[in-house]
């Protein structure tokens, strides 16, 4: 486990800012103690200093996970967000998409969101903006990328894709092995 290098920090923050914008600083400077990002087995974990100190007791090969996993660096040193980061992304998300109850299941199986399943969408969403997907009951389901801007969404036919699927909470079951 080690702190992130400057480059890694930059890559990761760039990615995060697609979803939560300038709210990143709320993640780093928290009123309830200092929190930090640490890299372990190519994965980025977010934890409080208190947990970090305790985790140093555990040798590297025996440590499986600390705090919350945000995502992982690929072999080409890109950063990929995991569904496990949803708990931190959802409250700070700038752009949100709500899906209708009928389309909920389809999204949770890894499909894109179609216009017919679109319940609500944040105003002024631009194309290719990172969005967090919610159910109509305001339960965060995952995140993706807006395929169309809000204006376009009004016009397109019901079978066209409006949000590209990136991750959804169904992955807790589907890819349990690769979460860590």
Partner 1 sequence: MGRKFDPTNNVKRGPGRKSRKQQGAENELAKFITDEDTEQKRLSSRGRKRAAKRVQKVKKPEDAAEEKNKTVFTDENSKWLKPATRKRKLDAAESEDSSDEHWEDEEDEEEEEKVEQQQQVKKGGKDKGKKAAKSKIKPVAEEVKDAEDDEAEDDADGAEDDDDDEEMVDDYGTLDDVSGDAAEEESDGDEELLPIERAAKKAKKLKEILDLDSDEDDDDEEDDDKDGEKDEKSDEEDTVQANMDEMDQFRLPGAEESEKEGVLMCVDLKEIHQRIKDNIEVLCNFSTRREEGKDRAEYIALLKKDLCTYYSYNDFLIEKLIDLFPLSELVDFLEANEIHRPVTIRTNTLKTRRRDLAQALINRGVNLDPLGKWSKVGLVIYDSSVPVGATPEYLAGQYMLQGASSFLPVMALSPQEGELVLDMSSAPGGKTTYIAQLMRNTGVIVANDANADRLKSVVGNIHRLGVTNTVVCNYDGRRFPKVMGGFDRVLLDAPCSGTGVIAKDPVVKTSKDEADIQRSAHLQKELILAAIDSVNAGSASGGYLVYCTCSIMVEENEWVVDYALKKRNVKLVSTGLDFGKEGFTRFRERRFHPTLKLTRRFYPHSHNMDGFFVAKLKKFSKCYSIRVRRERRG
Q: Residues in the site for partner 1, rule: CB under 8 A?
A: 47-48, 50-51, 54-55, 57-58, 62-69, 83-84, 87, 104-105, 108, 135, 137, 139-141, 159, 168-170, 172-173, 176-177, 179-180
CB of 104 to partner 1, least distance (A): 6
Please tell me whether residue 136 adopts helix, strand or coil conformation.
coil
Residue closer to partner 1 by CB (options 30, 154) is 30
Give the separation between CA 69 and CA 26, rounded to whole angstroms. 17
What Å distances lie between residue 107 and 86, 89, 112, CA to CA? Answer: 15, 18, 6
Residue closer to partner 1 by CB (options 14, 87) is 87
Q: What is the dihedral of CA 26, 163, 144, 146, to 10 degrees?
A: -50
Residue closer to partner 1 by CB (options 96, 149) is 96
CB of 137 to partner 1, least distance (A): 7
CB of 33 to partner 1, least distance (A): 10
Pair 81, 68: CB distance under 8 Å: no
């Amino acid at each position: 486990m080690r702190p992130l290098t400057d480059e890694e920090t930059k890559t990761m923050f760039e990615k995060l800012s697609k979803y939560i914008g300038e709210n990143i600083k709320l993640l780093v400077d928290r009123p309830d103690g200092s929190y930090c990002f640490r890299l372990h087995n190519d994965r980025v974990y977010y934890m409080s200093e208190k947990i970090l100190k305790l985790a140093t007791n555990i040798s590297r090969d025996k440590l499986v996970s600390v705090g919350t996993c945000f995502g992982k660096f690929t072999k080409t040193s890109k950063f990929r967000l995991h569904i496990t980061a949803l708990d931190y992304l959802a409250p700070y998300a700038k752009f949100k998409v709500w899906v209708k109850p009928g389309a909920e299941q389809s999204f949770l199986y890894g499909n894109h969101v179609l216009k017919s399943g679109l319940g609500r969408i944040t105003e002024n969403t631009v194309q290719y903006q990172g969005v967090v997907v919610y159910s109509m009951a305001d339960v965060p389901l995952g995140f993706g990328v807006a395929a169309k801007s809000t204006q376009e969404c009004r016009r397109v036919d019901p079978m066209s894709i409006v949000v590209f699927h990136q991750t959804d909470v169904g992955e807790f079951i589907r890819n349990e092995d690769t979460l860590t």
